[in-house]
Amino acid sequence: MLKAPAGSPTWVGFIQKPHGLNGRLLVHLDNTVSKSQWPTRFEHVWLETRGQKVPYRCLESQFKVPGGLILHLEGVNSPMDVQPLLKSRVGIEGVRIAPVVSSGAVWGFNEDDLPGAILIDLSSGLRAVLVRLHRRPPQDFLEFTVNEQPVYLPLVPNFVRQWDPVLRELTVSLPDGLLDLYLSGESESGESESGETESKTSHDAD
């Protein structure tokens, strides 16, 4: 830890888990943050745990695709040091995040219009059922489901394109890696179950 620097951070994500054995942290990044929005260098990182904001000197940082960042902070040298910091919010100065725009003014839908409506992704052709709009200042999120798994999309003009009130369809442009971020665990689970089934079938045949 170090003396609190001047300025205020932009909150970019939260600590998900230890990375390796030397105290490095895996940070789950907000979907509105990309490498192009990152400062060229930064010396410290803010962590917020149980309402306390504490600055740490950053010794190393590295992006991990999709949606992750690996950090090495001064004084954090082992997985045991990481444990008390899990789920802490991570803040960094100089990060540019797309501004939040009123959904009503731009897209013409109300919060009550969305549950049960259809989300359509322009690039992939994906059609998914919208669940709800989450009000999370300073950034609102749309929740929709894919294969019964929840996926969250930041409500910003780069991603949300057009609302059709007659068909109740919301056209979007999903950012690269968003579905992988939320559905990768489901894929690994499916592969594991498939492997177990094959193994059992082979054993029964013997």
| Model pLDDT for residues 34-43, shown as the tens digit of each residue | 666 677 777 8
Task: Assess if CATH 3.30.1740 describes domain 103-184.
Answer: no
Q: What is the pLDDT of residues 87-101, one digit of tens each?
A: 898 988 877 665 444
pLDDT score at 185:
57
Confidence of residue 74 (pLDDT cuts 50, 70, 90): very high
Does 198 have pLDDT greater than 50?
no
Q: What is the pLDDT of residues 115-153, one digit of tens each?
A: 999 999 988 899 999 999 887 766 788 999 999 989 988
Tell me how far apart the alpha carbons of residues 62 and 179 are, in angstroms, rounded to a whole number.
22
Tell me how far apart the alpha carbons of residues 18 and 86 are, in angstroms, rounded to a whole number.
8
Residue 53's Cβ-count burial label (10 Å; 0-12, 13-18, 19+) is: middle
In this prediction the pTM is: 0.49
Phi, psi angles (nearest 5°) of residue 166: -75, -50
Task: Assess if CATH 3.20.20.70 describes domain 10-92.
Answer: no
Domain ranges of the chain: 10-92, 103-184
- For residues 151 and 182, the answer to whether their CB atoms sit within 8 Å is yes
Length of the chain measured in residues: 206
Tell me how far apart the alpha carbons of residues 144 and 42 are, in angstroms, rounded to a whole number.
35
DSSP 109-141: --GGG-TT-EEEETTT--EEEEEEEE--TT--E
